[in-house]
Structure 1
Amino acid sequence: MRLLNFLPTLFLLIALPAGADALRCGEYRSTDGGMALVFTTSNTGYRHNDISEPEPLWVDRSAARTRLVMLDDGVAESIRISADGQRIEDDVVVVYTLRQPRACAIEPSAMDGSCRAAGSHCIAQLPTASPGQAKRACNEGVGAGCSTLLRQLRDAVTTVGSDDIGPARFERPPVCREHTPGHDTAACEALTDDALAAAMQRVGERLQREDEDTLDSRLTAAARDHLQQLCLQHRSGRFCVEVAEQQLIALEPALAVQALQVVCDAGRVSACERTAPLRELGADLRLVPLLQVPCGRYQADGGSLDTLTFDDAGRARVDTQDVRALLLDGTLHIRHDNGADYVLGLLANGDLLGLDAFTGYQRYRRRPGAPQFCRERPARR
């Protein structure tokens, strides 16, 4: 009889994978209730709050510390799981408590050489990934892989349809290969830490270069179309925001809004706030060349720069400053003390659209009946 009582527990232990911890499927909530970790299987899930889209994640148990691999951001964060599976604590001391346990869904096995099988080491390899690796990670639903592919297209590392894509496999170091004789969690922990730190350093260096170089170079139409389709297919939040930015740089607001709407549909409130005023435009959501400096007052709905006023001398009032407004390649550039220009385009209905990093997606409306232009001759560089 005692053996019969023990059998269910024995079968449960047999069913658990090697190295399994007490992590439960279901929803864990942070102490303040603002953040949730939801695990749909023992190895997959997402993190979310009430104002943003869910962030998909994988669980990596190959090293001494369990890590959450955040697929959109391309980072791996270590966590601590209580022995009873009721609490999770991350590195920034956010404590999550199991609120709604659920049955685990069936999870397919990870394919050898896939980003999923490599876990944290896939994320660590993405900053230096080959085009083949970036494409594979992206096709597996890793948003950071899609973002890597975007950077490679932008930096001319690869082209759409190129056969020269390099290796398309991700590998763990031998000591990090679970269920093998050489698996060593302590040695794997040291290697994983080093690999992730090196990856973060490369990302930091790249971001610094991008800040210095100001990324205004436009992708080819073929590259943008390819990336747009990847956004619509994989619906990755951060990646779709990046695609939308590229479409805005290319002066394609309708495509930018389409990509950003993916993020809105996933639950990011700020994306919805940006797309709503622009979707109202319908067929007028397109830019036409600006041939003269606008006239009068233009008002946006919210934003830190919500009012622009133009006079008949080709100047614009920004906050309390009167600055020069110049036309360049059919767009309006407003010089200010912060360095980079505010850049605005003319929408087909006569409104202005913010195109730079500061005013991007802002729709500036003029008063009904007000003249659109003050002067006959444009102010040029």
Structure 2
Amino acid sequence: MSHSFRTRLLALLAALLLPTLPAMAATPLACGTYQAVDGGARFIVESTHQAVRIYDGQPPTRYLIRQQDQTLHAADLSNGFSADYTLSADGKRIGGLLGDYVLESTARCNASPTAPANSCRADIDGCMDSAYSATPVQLKQWCQEDLPFACERLLSSYVEQARTGQPSNLPEPDLAEPAVCREGTPAFDEAACRAAAREVLGLALAKAMAGTLAGGPAPALPAVQLDEVLQLCRRHPDAGFCGKVADAHLDAGRYPGAREALQQACAAGGEERTCRRAQVLAAVDVADLAAVAATALPCGDYAASSGLMDALSFADQGLVSMSGNSVLRARLEGGAVRIRHDKGGDFVLQPLASGQLLGVDEWNRYALYQRTGGATHCSAPVAYAETPLQQDCPAGTDPQACCAAGKLQGCNTLGHRKALAGDWAGAAPYYQTLCRAGVRAGCENLRSVYEHTGDEDIPGKLLALCKQDGTGRHVACDLYETTDWAMLGMGARRMQAVEPAAADDAPAQAGNRTSHRK
């Protein structure tokens, strides 16, 4: 995406969100502190070319700035984009995408270093525009110019490469500059370009949202890349970049590196949560931060000062009581302790040489669990027999015919259709078919039927499936034992009391509330 097109996008966004100030001749921007009219943010102009935005509880954001008449051009070095802001005639007010700021106090301007020719700083807008097509070598060079956006882009390119197995240095196709925006060409049309900018802006926002919602564990980066980004964090500490370096080391099981990067992030102005995490890990010796492959589940009580779960009690057969009296099931997998939760994923705890458990999942990241007592002997967990859900009913195939032929994917699809239409009772037989076959997702969605309908037959159906198996290893046994049926029943009754006559609206509402396991 070219600089001119990016500028149009940001100008469009600013025009939609914020008013502009009257056009008048402006005096030079004064160095000092500008206070936000709304909120507690401060925009501190340090020199004629440098500024920083500070907001309590957030890392500082640094800018390269330049003034031309009444316009202040600000390049965000932390996030990698630039935009124009409007100055008042007296130079005491800044308005634009940042919000409105008023000069609170002046200060002496610092000297502005001269950017070397051919450096990223010398052409900061062009450099930012080409960040997504830059090679790792270029990004590392720009990072060494103390530009956090280049450091973060280098790390994200490594993560993308680890996910796909291919280098990620190509421009994003859906953000390519439209022909109508290429100035100096026959196709250029200012009005059409603005319309195209609106469309591209919508695509970009949709892509960002999709990226936020997309999941999956982050891949472990190669040691050479982890060493490289940690070294860059040491030499060019930035709260955002170093925080991401810490996460990369945590995902790779390199906990001493994660601890060091967290400390760098905190020292560089990291938010309170980052500093708390750094403090927790700083209390553990480096040698004790080594991961130890678990050969048995923990037994007894554990507590942590952070994380979603502040207290855990491990008992017989892998049952785990959480704070709030929820009961889940733990298992060993890959040398870690995994606790399956009701959102289709796991809480993951890694045993350390210190005897503590380190939270490495998104919910309990960096939480450090210390044994506090409780039981000293627990019976071994049950290995439940689970049947994978085969993808045996391709798109375009009649799911009813698939289900009738014994293809479970078709039954699953029919259950989802019923549930998304608000007919949870109608979905139950299809989910029960899957559960009977040992498909965990079927049993979980059968539990969801109870959550929405309060059908008292559901717990009995799961218990009956468990007993029919005769081994105690059917996945229905696990779901029956780890579900708080009384709590779910209360929730179903409250839902029915609040929406006693919502049958006509049920399809849309149920569809918005439900997250089915595929």
Interval of TM-score (by shorter of Structure 1 and Structure 2):
0.7 to 0.9
1:278-357 alignment, distance < 5 Å: 278-282=281-285, 283-318=287-322, 319-357=324-362
AA in 1 matched with 2:161: A
Residues 314 and 324 in structure 1, CA contact (< 8 A), matched pair in contact too:
yes
Q: Does the C-alpha gap of structure 1 residues 379 and 83 become closer, same or farther in structure 2, counting only changes over 3 Å?
A: farther
- Deviations 1:19-49, CA, capped at 9 Å, x for gaps: 9963221211223562111121111121112
- TM-aligned CA deviation for residue 53 of structure 1: 3.2
3-state SS of 1:359 partner: coil
Q: Does the C-alpha gap of structure 1 residues 122 and 202 become closer, same or farther in structure 2, counting only changes over 3 Å?
A: farther
AA in 2 matched with 1:305: M
Is 1:79 equivalent to 2:81 in the alignment? no
Is 1:108 equivalent to 2:110 in the alignment? no
Aligned to 1:246: 248
- Deviations 1:50-94, CA, capped at 9 Å, x for gaps: 3333221111558995332221222334422212111122326x3
Name whichever of 242-251 and 30-39 sits farther off.
30-39
Determine which structure has greater relative contact order: mean sequence separation of CA pairs < 8 Å that are 6+ residues apart, divided by chain length: 1
Aligned to 1:26: 32
Match of 1:55 among 58, 61, 74: 61
Residues 288 and 354 in structure 2, CA contact (< 8 A), matched pair in contact too:
yes
- Deviations 1:117-171, CA, capped at 9 Å, x for gaps: 22333223222323243223211111111111112223339xxxx9xx99xxxxx
3-state SS of 2:161 partner: coil
Aligned to 1:128: 133
- TM-aligned CA deviation for residue 320 of structure 1: 4.2
Residues 317 and 380 in structure 2, CA contact (< 8 A), matched pair in contact too:
no
Residues 127 and 203 in structure 1, CA contact (< 8 A), matched pair in contact too:
no
- TM-aligned CA deviation for residue 191 of structure 1: 9.2
AA in 1 matched with 2:222: T
In 2: Cα distance, 1:248 partner to 1:137 partner: 25
AA in 1 matched with 2:82: A
User: 1 or 2, which has the higher helix percentage?
Assistant: 2
3-state SS of 1:53 partner: coil
AA in 2 matched with 1:286: A
Aligned to 2:274: 271
TM-score normalised to structure 1 length: 0.76
Aligned to 1:6: none
3-state SS of 1:28 partner: strand
State which structure, 1 or 2, has the greater radius of gyration over its C-alpha atoms: 2
In 1: Cα distance, 2:80 partner to 2:329 partner: 41
3-state SS of 2:82 partner: strand
Is 1:255 equivalent to 2:257 in the alignment? yes
AA in 2 matched with 1:313: Q
Residues 327 and 379 in structure 1, CA contact (< 8 A), matched pair in contact too:
no
3-state SS of 1:128 partner: coil
- TM-aligned CA deviation for residue 197 of structure 1: 9.2
Unaligned stretches of 5+ in structure 2? Answer: 1-24, 171-183, 386-518
3-state SS of 2:214 partner: helix
Name whichever of 117-126 and 214-223 sits farther off.
117-126
Name whichever of 147-156 and 286-295 sits farther off.
147-156
Residues 317 and 382 in structure 2, CA contact (< 8 A), matched pair in contact too:
no
- TM-aligned CA deviation for residue 215 of structure 1: 4.3
- Deviations 1:172-193, CA, capped at 9 Å, x for gaps: xxxxxxxxxx9xxxx99x9999
3-state SS of 2:29 partner: coil
In 2: Cα distance, 1:143 partner to 1:297 partner: 42
AA in 2 matched with 1:261: Q
Residues 66 and 72 in structure 2, CA contact (< 8 A), matched pair in contact too:
yes
Name whichever of 259-268 and 19-28 sits farther off.
19-28
Residues 127 and 199 in structure 1, CA contact (< 8 A), matched pair in contact too:
no
AA in 2 matched with 1:224: L
- TM-aligned CA deviation for residue 246 of structure 1: 0.7
User: 1 or 2, which has the higher strand percentage?
Assistant: 1
AA in 2 matched with 1:79: Y
Identity of aligned residues (%): 31
3-state SS of 1:313 partner: helix
Residues 288 and 348 in structure 1, CA contact (< 8 A), matched pair in contact too:
yes
- Deviations 1:358-381, CA, capped at 9 Å, x for gaps: 1101112221x5456624679699
Match of 1:98 among 83, 95, 103: 103
AA in 2 matched with 1:130: T
Name whichever of 195-204 and 120-129 sits farther off.
195-204
3-state SS of 1:126 partner: coil
TM-score normalised to structure 2 length: 0.57
Aligned to 2:207: 205
Residues 293 and 379 in structure 1, CA contact (< 8 A), matched pair in contact too:
no
Residues 231 and 259 in structure 1, CA contact (< 8 A), matched pair in contact too:
yes
Unaligned stretches of 5+ in structure 1? Answer: 1-18, 167-181
Match of 2:371 among 350, 356, 366: 366
Q: Does the C-alpha gap of structure 1 residues 24 and 342 become closer, same or farther in structure 2, counting only changes over 3 Å?
A: same
Aligned to 1:231: 233
3-state SS of 1:224 partner: helix
In 2: Cα distance, 1:354 partner to 1:279 partner: 15
In 1: Cα distance, 2:29 partner to 2:269 partner: 26
- Deviations 1:285-344, CA, capped at 9 Å, x for gaps: 222111111122221114432222221110223444322212111111111112231111
Residues 66 and 80 in structure 1, CA contact (< 8 A), matched pair in contact too:
yes
3-state SS of 1:267 partner: coil
Report the RMSD for the aligned CA atoms in angstroms: 3.6
AA in 2 matched with 1:139: Q
Name whichever of 247-256 and 286-295 sits farther off.
286-295
Name whichever of 266-275 and 226-235 sits farther off.
266-275
Residues 347 and 363 in structure 2, CA contact (< 8 A), matched pair in contact too:
yes
- Deviations 1:235-267, CA, capped at 9 Å, x for gaps: 021111111011000111221011011111123
Alignment length (residue pairs): 335
3-state SS of 2:131 partner: helix
3-state SS of 2:246 partner: helix
